[in-house]
Structure 1
Amino acid sequence: MDMPHDDMPMVMNMMMQMNFYWGKDVTILFKGWPDNNLSMYILSLFFVFFMAFGVEIMSMGSKMIIKRPIVGGLIRDGIYYTVRMVLVYFVMLAVMSFNIGIFIVAILGHGLGFVVVKFLELAAAETTTDSNATDPKV
């Protein structure tokens, strides 16, 4: 099926990158962002990094809260979970731009967030065991 030549620019603009590539010429999440601008591309790298980092930090959210009312806790946990899932899907969609820089910062954000979460969990466990230990004085 042949297309008129007048429609070709529109079709070419709708094509999506389907393999990994380097470069600042990328569209992440919203049309016109980062708009082929190096400083905006760097800002978008930080944005994706902090979104991925935030996903991992939010993954320990339910462990931070000890006692709460049932209804208030359900509502707050539901909102918390919804925000976390929005971040998860935004990171996924950003990675689907197939830009290697975006992919790398998403992985680094998830990795660093995981390390921070595990460090905080280990510190909390150590504090709990230290407070439960008896201090024998002879």
Structure 2
Amino acid sequence: MKSHMTLFWGDAIEILFPGWPGSNFNSYMLALTLVFVLSLAVEWLSHTKFIKPTMDNITAGILQTAMYAFRVGMAYLVMLAVMSYNLGILLAAVAGYTIGFFIFGSRAFDDSKISKISPCEDPADLPPLIC
């Protein structure tokens, strides 16, 4: 299969693994969905709270480090998928990050009236990627 070095639109691509998703349109749609879900999961993990205040520091540190490694791994998979230069994959990744931020990171679903905490001081387990 020929490798592209410019953005293109088409369903005959290879993403992440040789032969995947192939030239089938349904497989291409599955790949778009996977990239969307991966980018959405990166935003979810960036704004979630798993560590309980009652945890000891060692356990909390190990859990926080594991979550960080998992988030970075998922973000790199999305980045590698986007490096296929397929416009559909790029749009799926941007849409996943955007919708994920809207749901988990913005004030749209915040119970408090005005949040005076900067994103880097948010009580989530992991700081957002901008910090």
Q: Residue type of the partner of 1:107?
A: V
Counterpart mapping for 1:61-100 below 5 A:
61=48, 63=49, 65-67=51-53, 68-100=55-87
Structural RMSD (CA): 2.3
Q: Alpha carbons of 1:49 and 1:23: their partners in 2 closer, same or farther (altered >3 Å)?
A: same
Q: Does structure 1 conserve the Cα–Cα contact (< 8 Å) formed by 2:12 and 2:22?
A: yes
SS of alignment partner, residue 39 of structure 1: helix
Q: 1:110-129 counterparts in 2 under 5 A?
A: 110-119=97-106, 123-126=110-113
Instruction: Find the counterpart in structure 2 of residue 30 from structure 1.
Output: 17
Distance in 2, matches of 1:85 and 1:119, equals 21
Q: How far apart are the structure 2 equivalents of 1:113 and 1:72? A: 28
Find the counterpart in structure 1 of residue 126 from structure 2.
Answer: none
Partners of 2:50 and 2:62 in 1: CA distance: 16
Using the TM superposition, give the Cα deviation of residue 37 of structure 1 relative to its aligned residue in structure 2, in angstroms: 1.1
- Is residue 51–residue 60 contact of structure 2 (8 Å, CA) maintained in 1? no
Residue of structure 2 equivalent to 1:134: none
Match of 1:3 in 2: none
Task: Map residues 31-70 of structure 1 onto 2, 5 A cutoff.
Answer: 31-61=18-48, 63=49, 65-67=51-53, 68-70=55-57
TM-score by length of 1: 0.74
Residue 105, structure 1, aligned to residue 113, structure 2: no
Matched positions, count: 114
Structure having the higher Rg: 1
Secondary structure of the residue that 1:91 maps to in structure 2?
helix
Letter in 2 for 1:82: A
Runs of 4+ in 1 over 4 A off after TM superposition: 119-122
